[in-house]
Structure 1
Amino acid sequence: MTVAVVVDSTSDIPPAMREELGITVVPLTILFGNQAYLDGVEMSTEEFYQRLVTDPVHPSTSQPSPGAFAEVYERLAREHEGIISIHISSKLSGTVRSAEQAAQMVTQVPIRVIDSTSVSMGFGFLGIEAAKLARAGKSLDEIAAQVEALIPKIRLWAVLDTLEYLRRGGRIGRAGAFLGTLLNVKPLIEVRGEVLPAERVRTHKKAIARMVELASAEAPYKYLAVLHSRAQPYAEELAEQLSAIHPREGIIVAELTGVIGVHGGPGVVGVTGIKQD
C-alpha cells in the first residue's frame, strides 16, 4: 500500500477492522488528575468506564502532541509514498492542529491532514474508505478528494443519559440550550462540527425510535454504525430496528472510546452513517 492511513483513537473503528485494513491509530490522552493514560493503549474502554463512575476526580482529555504525530509519520514515511491523516472535528479537539503541525515537520513524503467535522465512527468510516482506496492503488490526491467529498454526507445523532459530562468537559457547544430545561428528559443531540441540540425525549426507548426515524429519513447509507457507551442492549435494539434501512450484517456496533466517554458519560446510544450517493 503506497498511501498510509492515520486516524486518532476517537474514531472507534473496531480493532479487527483497523488491523485488517492497516489503519494506524494515534491515541489521545485521558487524565485523572496527574495520572495520564494513552486512550485504548494504557487504559481500555472497560477500565475507563469503571473508573469514570467511581473516581471522585472527573477526568479530562488531551490531544496528541505534534511530536507524537511526527514520530508516527516518520515511521510510516519509510514504507509509504504518502500519508492521509483523518481526525476528530477541530471544533471538538485540538488534534487536527497537532497533526497539521507535525505534517509541517515531516518532509519525507506528502501528508494530507483532514478535519472530519465529526467524531467516533462518523469519521471512522472516512478512515475505512481511505484505507480501501489506498489498497486499490489510488493516489494520495485521489484518496483525499474522495474522502473530503464524503464529509458533507456524514450524519450522527445520539441520546445522552445526562448532559452533565458534556458540561464538565466543556464540549457542550450549543447543546447548552438544553441546560436548565431538563427535568427527567433525555437530550438528543446531533454532531455537525460541534455538538448541537436536536430534541428532548422522555426515555431511551423513545429516543431510539426517534433516531430510527431521523436515520431512515436520510437513507440509503454507504456506511452505518450504532454507537454506545456501556449500553450494549440499547445499541443492539437500535441496530435491529435500523436493519429495515440497511443490512444488519453491514451495521457496525461500536463502543465509544474513553476520550469520548469523558464528555458523554455512560449510557450514550447513537447512530452515525455516511449517506449513499
Structure 2
Amino acid sequence: MVRIVTDSTCDLTKERLAELGVLCVPLTVHFGEEEYRDGVDMTNPEFYEKLRKAAEIPTTAQPTPHAFEEVFAQCLERGEDVVCVLISTELSGTAQSANIAKNTLESDRIHIVDSRTACLALGLLVEIAAQRAAEGRSAEEIAAEMESLTDRVRINAAVETLEYLKKGGRLSGTAAALGTMLNIHPLVGILGGKVVQLGKARGKKKMFESLRKMTEEEGIDDKYPVLLGHAQSMENYEQLRQACQPLTEGRTVLYGEIGSVIGTHAGPGVVAITYIKKA
C-alpha cells in the first residue's frame, strides 16, 4: 500500500484529507510568542478572526525533521510505502526537513516530491496522488507522475484586500491606499516555485472574469480535475464558481479552503482556481 503525505499548505480540509487517507504534517504559525500548528490548534475561522485583530501579521515556520520522522516511521511500521508531496523549496524549508527525516530512517521506501508550488495547487497534486494510490499504483509511479506535473500545475488567484500585502511589506502604504481607492485586486500565481504577479483587475466583477480568462487562455488538461477554493469568503467562492462554470462544465471540480500559512500573507477573501495546464 502507498500512503500519501503532505504539509498543511495544501489547503485541503481536514475532512477531505481524512476521506483521502492522506497524512498532513502541519507548519506552525506564530502570533508574537503564541505558536499554533496550522489546521490543528486553530481552525481557519479562528485564524482569520485573530489575523484581522493583529497589529502585525504573524510569522510561519516549517515543520521539524522530527515531525516528519514520526509520520514516516509509522507508515513504514505498517508496511506502507510513502509518497510525500510538499510545498515548493523556493517558498519553505519544509522539504528539507522531510529529507533529513528520510535520511535518518535510511529508507528507500520514502519518496519526497518538491511540488514547486503551494496552496490549492499543492492540494490538487495531493488529490491526484491519492487517486493514484487508490488505483493501486506503486510509489515509484505516483512520485514520477507528480514530478512530471510540477511544471504544469497552475494556480490563478485574486487578492481581495491590499491590507495584508501592506502589513507584510510587499506593498507600500501609498500604493496600498491608491490601489484600495481604485478598487484594484492583484492577480497572482506560482511559477517556477515562486509567487508571481500575473496582473491586476479593477473591481470584483473584473477580478472573477480575469481569473476565468487566464485559465481559459492557458487551457486545462482534460485528464485531471479542477480545484476551486477561497479564504473565508464563501460569497467570493460562489462568484468565482459561477464565473468559471463554462470552463468546469463536465469536469470534476474539487474544493479547498486557504488556511493560515498562505492566508497570513494574502489575507481573507482570496479566491483561486487550480488546474493542470495542457501539455
The partner residue of 2:262 within 260, 263, 270 is 260
Match of 2:246 in 1: 244
- Specify whether residues 133 and 253 from structure 1 end up closer, same or farther in structure 2 by C-alpha distance, changes over 3 A only: closer
| 3-state SS of 1:118 partner | coil
2:14 pairs with 1:12: no
TM-score under structure 2 normalisation? 0.89
Match of 1:217 in 2: 217
Quote the Cα distance in structure 1 between the aligned partners of 2:18 and 2:250: 22
What is the 5 A alignment of 1:72-87? 72-87=71-86
Match of 1:152 in 2: 151
Quote the Cα distance in structure 1 between the aligned partners of 2:232 and 2:251: 21
Quote the Cα distance in structure 1 between the aligned partners of 2:264 and 2:83: 27
Please state how far the C-alpha of 1:167 moved relative to its aligned partner.
Answer: 5.5
Quote the Cα distance in structure 1 between the aligned partners of 2:13 and 2:252: 13
Please state how far the C-alpha of 1:53 moved relative to its aligned partner.
Answer: 0.4
Please state how far the C-alpha of 1:251 moved relative to its aligned partner.
Answer: 2.0
Match of 1:186 in 2: 185
- Specify whether residues 186 and 218 from structure 1 end up closer, same or farther in structure 2 by C-alpha distance, changes over 3 A only: same
Paired residues of 1:9 and 1:25 also in contact (CA < 8 A): yes
Quote the Cα distance in structure 1 between the aligned partners of 2:27 and 2:91: 13
Paired residues of 2:156 and 2:273 also in contact (CA < 8 A): yes
Quote the Cα distance in structure 2 between the aligned partners of 1:72 and 1:180: 44
Range 248-257 or range 25-34, more displaced: 248-257
Quote the Cα distance in structure 1 between the aligned partners of 2:251 and 2:239: 14
The partner residue of 1:229 within 211, 214, 231 is 231
Paired residues of 1:4 and 1:80 also in contact (CA < 8 A): no
Amino acid in the other structure paired with 1:266: P
Range 181-190 or range 146-155, more displaced: 181-190
Quote the Cα distance in structure 2 between the aligned partners of 1:108 and 1:200: 46
Match of 1:206 in 2: 206
% of aligned pairs identical? 34
Quote the Cα distance in structure 1 between the aligned partners of 2:145 and 2:125: 9
Match of 2:138 in 1: 139
- Specify whether residues 122 and 220 from structure 1 end up closer, same or farther in structure 2 by C-alpha distance, changes over 3 A only: same
Paired residues of 1:60 and 1:169 also in contact (CA < 8 A): no
| 3-state SS of 1:245 partner | helix
Amino acid in the other structure paired with 2:194: E
| 3-state SS of 2:30 partner | strand
Please state how far the C-alpha of 1:166 moved relative to its aligned partner.
Answer: 4.0
Alpha-carbon RMSD: 2.2
Instruction: Give the length in aligned residue pairs.
Output: 272
- Specify whether residues 237 and 249 from structure 1 end up closer, same or farther in structure 2 by C-alpha distance, changes over 3 A only: farther
2:56 pairs with 1:49: no
Give per-residue Cα distances to partners, 1:229-250, cap 9 Å, x unaligned.
Answer: 1221111111122121223772
Please state how far the C-alpha of 1:23 moved relative to its aligned partner.
Answer: 0.4
Please state how far the C-alpha of 1:164 moved relative to its aligned partner.
Answer: 4.5
| 3-state SS of 2:255 partner | strand
**Unaligned 5+ runs, structure 2:** none
Match of 2:28 in 1: 29
- Specify whether residues 167 and 55 from structure 1 end up closer, same or farther in structure 2 by C-alpha distance, changes over 3 A only: closer
